[in-house]
Amino acid sequence: MKLTGAEILCESLTRLGVREIFGYPGGAILPVYDALGKSKLHHVLVRHEQGATHMADGYARASGGIGVAMATSGPGATNMVTGIATAMLDSSPVVCITGQVSSKVLGSDAFQEIDITGITMPITKHNVVVTHAEDIARTVREAFLIANSGRPGPVLVDITKDAQQASAEFNWESSAPKLPPKRQRPNHDQAEFDRAVELLNTAKRPLILAGHGIMVSGAMRAFEQFVRTGNYPVAMTLLGIGCFPANDPLNLGMMGMHGEAWVNNAIQEADLLIAVGMRFDDRVTGDLRTYAKGARKIHIEIDRAEINKNVKVDAALVGDAREVLEKLMPHIQTRDHSTWIGHIAELKGDSAVRDIQTLPDSGHLYAAHVINDLWKETRGEAIVVTDVGQHQMWEAQYYHHNRPRTLITSGGLGTMGFALPAAIGAKFAKPDSEVWAVVGDGGFQMTMSELATIVQEKINIKIAIINNGYLGMVRQWQEFFYDKRYVATPLVAPDFAALANAFGIRGERITARAEVIPTIRAARESAETVLIDFRVEQEDSVYPMVAAGASLHDMIRRPNNPLVETASEP
Amino acid sequence: MQTLVAYVENKPGVLNRVSSLARRLAINIDSLTVGPTENEEIARMTIVAHTDERGAHRLEASLEKLVDVLLAENISGRALLERDLALIKVSADQQNRPHLMELIKVFRARVVDVAPESLIIEVSGAVDKIDGLLEVLRPFGVLEMARTGRISMTRGGDLLRPPVPESTASELESTNSGVK
């Protein structure tokens, strides 16, 4: 069957199970758009290509499948850079398709020509330029294979306009992926495995550090069995949240810079850390010289380049988290760690008395109230997509996720402007799920043009703006480390409710604690998107906090008045 | 100094990916040689990098993550044969020419070009040997020099072969229908 390159692309995407493409048209990708119009694929018109990549990313993270973003050459492609880097840092399988000028003028600085494969080389798992129609099907299939295998990541396919226009024979069977052969390394030797088992069965104060990799490998069941059998307490990374139920007594909560105080202290007191699908990021370790000095370390990780990168480990089990955990299971002895777990509970007790939720209503509206109420009202079952900053940390502390892929957030890159478009993508992936974008007033203003996308697509998400009139996390650093010199952090914003109305979206503004629950209820009952502007305490800070470069146990705690610290029981 | 060998796809852009990776990891490359193997679709690189064992591990593992890299291996510390080749243009007049010829003989180098005012000397061997020759030639006036950089091979039965293609990867294909 003879098809144009553009038709081959659409046919290939359809056969690969794609339903939605998030994109923005332009000259060098027009042949593909013409073919899209004749295909069954649904194209979501975004308002900025960064939004397209975040939507594809949100789609991928909510579904476990691959998100597809599309843009034209030049500025269309460069606008994708932030979204691609976001997906790269969080190992999210996104396939970006960009148009490119015709192969005959490549390298001539033609109109809207840019070397996007050169630009995105360090922020993609792989990228490729296609100049022949007959290579499109195989290349796209390879892109899908690369994006979601091993440690997932973004792949960019740059297709020249002449390749889109040319005709070629289309044959699905003969266009199977044909990637270069790879040396198959043994994941670990028996001695390393035996050493890990020995450590697991002799530890007195073991602690699991649970990361994103558990979700990526679909290891939730194996992980739960592993935890129960070994009776190990579990600490979560930000991206690991959801891989193990928050309401499980063995789940301690989040670790790291804004982790719970008892979790960080437990890490520092542990005699064995079992890291699963996490990479000892500086935001979870603090100062490496003082990190978990008394603990031996086991690292279960699919990416060999992560082994001994930041933290030297005693046993490295390289491989897919599920496979490694299943292999370990028969060797794990059930042991009583009640003394150790009891000790962690004591550490927790100290923080529980400081919880903002137990304090009398002072008339102030705190972000923690809003998020905790949202958690209660949604019974913890919504997909929450956050932006980056204070509200992101409060979400991680106060919204207790019991199911995987229900917290979607930019962890590694920390991309402001992520929440709104990623929430749109998540809604397309899970149309029957309740999706909330929780976003600060700063990040919202970066990508709020995507409100128009919501209206055009008639989708139903809920938007909670945690509006404190500041770039809150930066302001917090200025308060702590720059003597309260608030340079460039006070932030003027439009009336968000009125803005929503201008887009044809219902908008609410909340200033008192008593209004929070009724407004959330009303929003949930609506079949359309609702935006709620929560005007919260302006100079509240996230506690506890490990200053950048400080030791993990060296936390800045909430001053006495007002007493706010996390410890709400899930 | 660490020595790595990599087998890569012999196609445009691969050298850029490899060198760009070293740059991203802030590892300085002392020398990088690349040439086709007996299979013209596969090229072999010898990378000599200013880094420690830990850096070399990271470089090796990160290189193997690149789709176009078939294999990367740190061979530092193994029994190696190492070769470097240099062309050295040295100024030579009637008076010092005999002295030069003697040195060349001692170093088992060859004269490959003779001109009234200069000679081109070809020398190959271990890096030390070339450095040594260069040292004794300096007083004569080294006009120009080109070096290939090091190529390395493990000795004897310690084989480092490129992996062979598997039949097909299609059974592993990712689609959105089988979502986790």
**pLDDT tens digits for range B67-87:** 999 999 999 999 999 999 999
Q: Which residues of A touch B61 (CB under 8 A)?
A: 303-305, 307
What average pLDDT does the segment B45-60 reach? 96
What number is the average pLDDT over the span B55-65?
Answer: 96
Within a domain: B157? no
Query: Which of the residues of A are catalytic?
Result: 49, 111-112, 161, 473
**Distance (Å, whole) CA A503 – CA A455:** 7
Per residue in B9-18, pLDDT tens?
999 999 999 9
Burial class (CB in 10 A: 0-12, 13-18, 19+), A438: buried
Residue B44 lies in a domain: yes
Q: Within its chain, how far is the Cα of A117 from the centroid?
A: 24
Token pair in block for residue A481 = 């480390």
Same domain, B50 and B118: no
Between CA A117 and CA A98 the distance in angstroms is 10
Q: Which chain A residue has the Cα nearest residue B42? A: A180
Asked if B30 and B91 sit in the same domain, the reply is: no
Task: Answer yes or no: do A177 and B170 touch at CB < 8 A.
Answer: yes
Q: DSSP string of A197-243? A: HHHHHH-SSEEEEE-HHHHHTT-HHHHHHHHHHHT--EEE-TTTTTS
The parent domain of residue B90 ranges over 81-152
CB count within 10 Å of CB A553 equals 18
pLDDT at B166: 66
Q: Of B52, B78, B104, which marks where a domain is finished?
A: B78
CB-CB contact of A318 with A309 (8 Å)? no
- Among A477, A467, A539, A541, CA closest to A500: A467
Give domain status of residue B38, yes or no. Answer: yes
Same domain assignment for residues B74 and B94: no
Instruction: Report CB contact under 8 Å: B173, A145.
Output: yes
Residues of A in contact with B170 (CB under 8 A): 141, 176-177
Q: Under an 8 A CB cutoff, do A303 and B65 touch?
A: yes
Torsion angles phi and psi, residue A214, rounded to 5: -65, -45
In sequence order, the 6+-apart residues with CB closer than 8 A to the CB of B115 are: none
Domain membership of residue B174 (yes or no) is: no
A545 φ/ψ angles, rounded to the nearest 5 degrees: -140, 130
In angstroms, the Cα distances linking A317 to A186, A235, A325 are: 10, 19, 10
Q: Which residues of chain A have pLDDT under 70?
A: 350-360, 560-570
pLDDT at B7 over 90: yes
Q: Are residues B46 and B85 in the same domain?
A: no
List the single residue in B with minimal CA-CA distance to A143: B174
Examine residue B146 and state whether it is found in any structural domain, yes or no: yes
Residue that terminates a domain, selected from B56, B78, B100: B78
Contact residues, B window 3-42, toward A, CB-based 8 Å cutoff: 9, 13, 16-17, 20-21, 24
Q: Is residue B35 part of a domain?
A: yes
Chain B hits for A63, Cβ within 8 Å: 176, 179
Residue whose entry in the numeric block shows the structure tokens 């506890």: A544
Tell me the longest C-alpha to C-alpha distance in chain A: 74
Question: Using a CB-CB distance cutoff of 8 angstroms, which residues of chain B are in contact with residue A141?
Answer: 170, 173
* pLDDT of A567: 44
Q: For residues A28 and A74, is the Cβ–Cβ distance under 8 A?
A: yes
Q: Which chain B positions have a beta carbon within 8 Å of A185's beta carbon?
A: 64
Q: How many domains does chain B have?
A: 2
CB-CB neighbours of A2 under 10 Å: 10
Using an 8 Å CB-CB cutoff, list residues of chain A that contact chain B.
15-19, 63-66, 93, 117-118, 121-122, 125-126, 141, 144-149, 151, 176-185, 218, 303-305, 307-309
Nearest to A183 among B20, B21, B70 (CB): B70
Are B91 and B133 in a shared domain?
A: yes
| Domains located in chain A, CATH noted | 2-175 (3.40.50.970), 190-347 (3.40.50.1220), 367-539 (3.40.50.970)
Write the CATH number for B8. Answer: 3.30.70.260
Q: Rounded to 5 degrees, what are φ and ψ at A172?
A: -60, -40
Residue B131 and residue B95 share a domain: yes
Contact A145/B70, CB-based, under 8 Å?
no
Substitution target from A119, A179, A188, A430 for chain B, most B beta carbons within 10 A: A179
Task: Determine, for residues A16 and B64 on separate chains, whether the beta-carbon distance falls below 8 Å.
Answer: no
Residues of A in contact with B65 (CB under 8 A): 125, 151, 303, 305
Residues B74, B98: one domain? no
Same domain, residue pair B87 and B47: no
B105 shares a domain with B46: no
Test A149 with B174 for CB contact under 8 angstroms: yes
Instruction: In whole angstroms, give the CA distance from residue A322 to residue A306.
Output: 18
Say if the Cβ atoms of B67 and A179 lie within 8 Å: yes
Check pLDDT > 80 for residue B107.
yes
Inter-chain contact B66–A177, Cβ cutoff 8 Å? no
In whole numbers, what is the pLDDT of chain B averaged over residues?
91
Task: Out of A17, A178, A309, name the one closest to residue B177 (CB).
Answer: A17
The closest alpha carbon to A390, from A475, A448, A463, belongs to A475
Q: How far apart are CA B73 and CA A258, in angstroms?
A: 39
Asked which of B78, B105, B130 is the last residue of a domain, the reply is B78
Residue type at position A357: Q
- Count the Cβ atoms, other than its own, within 10 Å of residue A268: 18
| Nearest alpha-carbon partner for A461 in A58, A90, A64 | A58
Write the single-letter amino acid at A519: T
Q: With contacts defined as CB-CB under 8 Å, which chain A residues touch B168?
A: 176, 178
Q: Pairing state of beta strands B142-147 and B80-91?
A: antiparallel
User: What does chain A come to in residues?
Assistant: 570
CA–CA dist A162, A168 (Å, integer): 12
Q: Do A183 and B62 lie within an 8 Å CB cutoff?
A: no
- Write out the DSSP string of B10-63: -STTHHHHHHHHHHHTT-EEEEEEEEE-SSTTEEEEEEEEE--HHHHHHHHHHH
Please name the residue of chain B whose CA is at the shortest distance from the CA of residue A12.
Answer: B175
Chain B residues touching A178 at Cβ < 8 A: 168-169
Task: Tell me whether residues B58 and A305 touch, CB distance under 8 A.
Answer: yes
CA-nearest residue to A172 within chain B is B170
Same domain, B110 and B64: no
Cα–Cα dist A289/B53, whole Å? 20
What CATH code is carried by the domain that includes residue B134? 3.30.70.1150
In a domain, B158, yes or no: no
CB contact under 8 A, B172 and A16: no
Q: Hey, are the CB atoms on A303 and B16 less than 8 Å from each other?
A: no
Q: What is the pLDDT of residue A566?
A: 47
pLDDT of residue A184: 85
Does residue B91 belong to any structural domain of this protein? Answer: yes
Provide the ipTM. Answer: 0.90
Q: Domain check: are B14 and B57 in the same one?
A: yes
Sheet holding B42-50, edge to edge: B28-36, B42-50, B2-9, B69-74
For residue A506, the surrounding DSSP H or E stretch is strand A506-510
Which chain A residue has the Cα nearest residue B59? Answer: A305
The answer, yes or no, to whether residue B167 has pLDDT greater than 70, is: no
Chain A: closest CA distance from residue B158 (Å)? 16
> Could you please report the per-residue DSSP string of A543-561?
SSEE-TTS-TT-EEPPPSS
CB pairs under 8 A between A and B: 95
Q: Which residue among A122, A176, A308 sits closest to B54, beta carbon to beta carbon? A: A308
Q: Is the domain of B67 the same as that of B90?
A: no
- Cβ within 8 Å of A, B 83-112: none
Task: Give residue A364's pLDDT.
Answer: 84
Contact B179 A176 (CB under 8 A): no
